[in-house]
């Protein structure tokens, strides 16, 4: 078995002119996520290949840096540099791993000749000698590679894995080249010139800014089987040179790549992009009728012409997918075709659930209780929300932009004056230490985030009130953390303000809004605030849980806002129909 992994394909390269030296002193610091990264793939039917991706990245970046930079120092993850005689670094580059995968896409059984999708995403954070931090720079390698892992002669259980090693080496060398491209741009931006600029006056690396937007035909934020979808691409040249030819490529989830197979059959290019100019294009395709998965990623890469010396600009789009016969992540299907509790055809639900955050903090898991399957079942089945009327925003799909889009676009386009709307949030909340004002924390936030990066409870209430629906029910399952108190502050014991814009009045205009939030402190074991809808809240045993019955069942565990009970007409609105077992005589 050891011999199998020792066989490596030699690295051949054609003679080429040496790359120009970049006059910079740089320190590279590789995060532990890089150093410990290992790729795995099964070969020879049941043998496991392990590629030390982290070691390959460190080696390739180090070798490339020593060849291309005036001085290079390699530090450990703590930031301590290895002993060296190099001068103080002009830039420190912190390299972290975002994602890495090496997945066969066309192999069946023990096939030894197949295709695989190789994706690696790194992030470089540059800091200059004065401590100024530049925007994070993505480094992306995404390629469909052809592999051949034949058995060795005279052996039934050993195969050649040289092409797996070679594919990994190609990927890390490509990423190292991207890092050098960023350093060339930093050199030009901070020093006003580059090696290319001196050799060819007036021409420098093209600096691209990319904005990509995913479009779907019915505008419900879900990519459904057979649906027409598109990507709008806006590219801006912020450099000093004209970009003659800029090429657009896609990579990511196979179903999304297949959707754009027709338009990508020929090169997609943007030509003659002048300095300061923005050009836009929309590429259209169609989702396959069936595919695996309920979440898709599409990475858009814009590559400037190589003669300019620029580097690619990339953006990854994340979306929910739904296919016939499957329970997707966003477009949820009611398990019951009955209209049971009345008005169900005009019911809508937005579920925001967070099991993780982009930048976790110590103790971030404390108090989180979102159970996707349970919550979806309670909303779709118990509340009888019809097919296509539920929007699930979970984890990466629950950024501030996603939540605000649901409030400003998805709901207003659907809700009528007769609608009943449910908004459910499970995650963390932050309270202002001076005012008690509450902010819900989306996926892309931290405890140190500006309040402009959070979802204000007042904003949420205002958006939902503007819908003019018959009834809006807001359910918040969130532990509340008190924000940092400013120095010399005299505020003490501020109570979180759940009232917000509701002003103790349950009726606003022609509709009613009811907000329910769990009391603090949170118990370790607790039921979902919606669990009473399955029958526990049905006090009169008539098989129907009304608004009034549900609210009364929550008195000991939740805070209801406004505290004044809604009128009898609202309390009598049926929320769920309970399936009752026939009792024996």
Alpha-carbon gap, residue 329 to 563, rounded angstroms:
34
Alpha-carbon gap, residue 304 to 236, rounded angstroms:
11
Which of the given ranges, 173-187, 197-211, 364-378, 487-501, has the highest pLDDT on average? 173-187
Neighbours of 227 (CB within 10 A): 18
User: In this prediction, what percent of the chain has a pLDDT beyond 90?
Assistant: 9
pLDDT band per the 50, 70, 90 thresholds, residue 441: very high
What stretch of H or E contains 195? helix 195-199
- Residue 100's SS3 state is strand
pLDDT in tens, 280-296: 888 999 998 887 766 78
pLDDT in tens, 394-424: 887 888 888 888 888 889 888 988 899 999 9
On the 0-12 / 13-18 / 19+ scale of CB atoms within 10 A, 365 is exposed
Runs of H (alpha helix) within 19-97: 32-35, 53-68
pLDDT in tens, 319-353: 777 775 443 333 333 333 333 444 457 889 898 98
Min mean pLDDT across 214-218, 267-271, 521-525 is at 521-525
Min mean pLDDT across 19-23, 57-61, 146-150, 270-274 is at 146-150
307 or 94, which is more confident? 94
Q: How many CA atoms lie within 13 A of 415 on its CB side?
A: 28
Largest CA distance in the chain: 97
Alpha-carbon gap, residue 232 to 245, rounded angstroms:
18
Q: Is the pLDDT of residue 154 over 60?
A: no
Alpha-carbon gap, residue 310 to 302, rounded angstroms:
11
Neighbours of 482 (CB within 10 A): 14
Report the pLDDT averaged over residues 47-71.
Answer: 91
* Domains and their CATH numbers in the chain: 2-199 (3.30.160.150), 208-322 (2.60.40.3880), 344-577 (3.40.50.1460)
pLDDT in tens, 81-130: 444 444 566 889 999 988 888 887 766 555 567 777 888 888 888 888 87
14 or 502, which is more confident? 502
Min mean pLDDT across 2-11, 222-231, 432-441, 490-499 is at 2-11
Enter the tokens of residue 215.
Answer: 């479009």
The pTM for the full model equals 0.46
Alpha-carbon gap, residue 205 to 181, rounded angstroms:
9
Average pLDDT of every residue of the chain? 75
Report the pLDDT averaged over residues 177-184.
Answer: 84
Bridge partners of 43, per DSSP, are: 47
What is the pLDDT, as a whole number, of residue 189? 66
Alpha-carbon gap, residue 222 to 13, rounded angstroms:
45
pLDDT band per the 50, 70, 90 thresholds, residue 565: low
What is the pLDDT, as a whole number, of residue 7? 36
What stretch of H or E contains 420? strand 420-426
What is the pLDDT, as a whole number, of residue 554? 82
What stretch of H or E contains 428? strand 428-431
- Residue 313's SS3 state is strand
Enter the tokens of residue 213.
Answer: 């937007």
Kindly report the backbone phi and psi dihedral angles of residue 180, in degrees, each rounded to the nearest multiple of 5, phi listed first. Answer: -65, -35
């Amino acid at each position: 078995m050891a011999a199998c992994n020792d066989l490596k394909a030699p690295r051949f390269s054609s003679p080429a002119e040496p790359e120009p030296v970049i006059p910079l002193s740089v320190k590279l610091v590789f995060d532990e996520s890089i150093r410990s990264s290992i790729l795995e793939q099964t070969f020879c039917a049941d043998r496991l290949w392990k590629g030390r991706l982290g070691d390959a990245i460190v080696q390739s970046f180090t070798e490339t840096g020593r060849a291309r930079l005036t001085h290079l120092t390699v530090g450990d993850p703590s930031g301590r540099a290895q002993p060296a005689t190099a001068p103080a670094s002009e830039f420190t580059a912190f390299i972290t791993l975002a994602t890495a995968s090496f997945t066969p896409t066309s192999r069946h059984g023990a096939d030894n000749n197949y295709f695989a999708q190789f994706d690696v995403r790194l992030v470089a954070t540059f800091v200059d000698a004065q401590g100024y931090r530049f925007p994070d720079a993505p480094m992306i390698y995404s390629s469909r590679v052809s592999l051949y892992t034949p058995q060795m002669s005279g052996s039934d259980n050993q195969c050649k894995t040289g092409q797996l090693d070679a594919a990994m080496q190609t990927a890390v060398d490509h990423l190292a080249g991207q890092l050098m491209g960023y350093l060339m741009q930093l050199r030009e931006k901070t020093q006003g010139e580059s090696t290319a600029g001196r050799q060819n006056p007036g021409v420098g690396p093209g600096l691209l800014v990319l904005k990509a937007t995913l479009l779907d035909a019915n505008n419900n934020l879900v990519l459904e089987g057979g649906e027409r979808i598109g990507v709008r691409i806006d590219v801006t040249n912020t450099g000093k040179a004209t970009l003659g030819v800029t090429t657009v490529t896609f990579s990511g989830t196979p179903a999304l790549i297949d959707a754009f197979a027709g338009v990508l059959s020929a090169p997609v290019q943007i030509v003659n992009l002048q300095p300061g100019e923005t050009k836009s294009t929309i590429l259209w395709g169609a989702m396959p009728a069936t595919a695996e998965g309920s979440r898709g990623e599409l990475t858009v890469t814009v590559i400037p012409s190589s003669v300019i010396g620029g580097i690619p600009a990339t953006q990854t789009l994340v979306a929910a997918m739904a296919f016939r016969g499957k329970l997707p992540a966003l477009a949820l299907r009611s398990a019951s075709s009955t209209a049971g509790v009345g008005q169900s055809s005009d019911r809508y639900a937005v579920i925001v659930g967070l099991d993780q955050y982009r930048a976790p903090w110590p103790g971030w898991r404390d108090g989180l209780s979102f159970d996707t399957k349970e919550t979806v079942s309670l909303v779709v089945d118990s509340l009888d929300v019809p097919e296509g009327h539920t929007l699930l925003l979970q984890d990466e799909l629950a950024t501030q932009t996603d939540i605000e889009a649901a409030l400003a676009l998805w709901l207003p386009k659907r809700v009528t004056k007769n609608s009943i709307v449910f908004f459910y949030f499970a995650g963390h909340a932050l309270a202002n230490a001076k005012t008690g004002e509450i902010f819900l924390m989306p996926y892309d936030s931290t405890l140190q985030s500006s309040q402009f990066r959070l979802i204000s409870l007042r904003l949420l209430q205002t958006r939902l009130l503007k819908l003019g629906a018959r009834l809006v029910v807001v359910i918040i399952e969130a532990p509340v953390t008190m924000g940092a108190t400013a120095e010399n502050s005299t505020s003490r014991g501020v109570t979180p303000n759940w009232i917000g814009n509701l002003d103790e009045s349950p009726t606003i205009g022609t509709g009613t809004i009811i907000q329910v939030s769990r009391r603090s402190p949170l118990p370790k074991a607790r039921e979902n605030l919606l669990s009473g809808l399955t029958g526990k809240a049905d006090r009169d045993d008539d098989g129907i849980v009304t608004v009034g019955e549900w609210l009364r069942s929550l008195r000991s565990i939740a805070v209801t806002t406004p505290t004044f009970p809604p009128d009898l007409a609202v309390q009598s609105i049926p929320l769920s129909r309970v399936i009752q077992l026939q009792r024996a005589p």
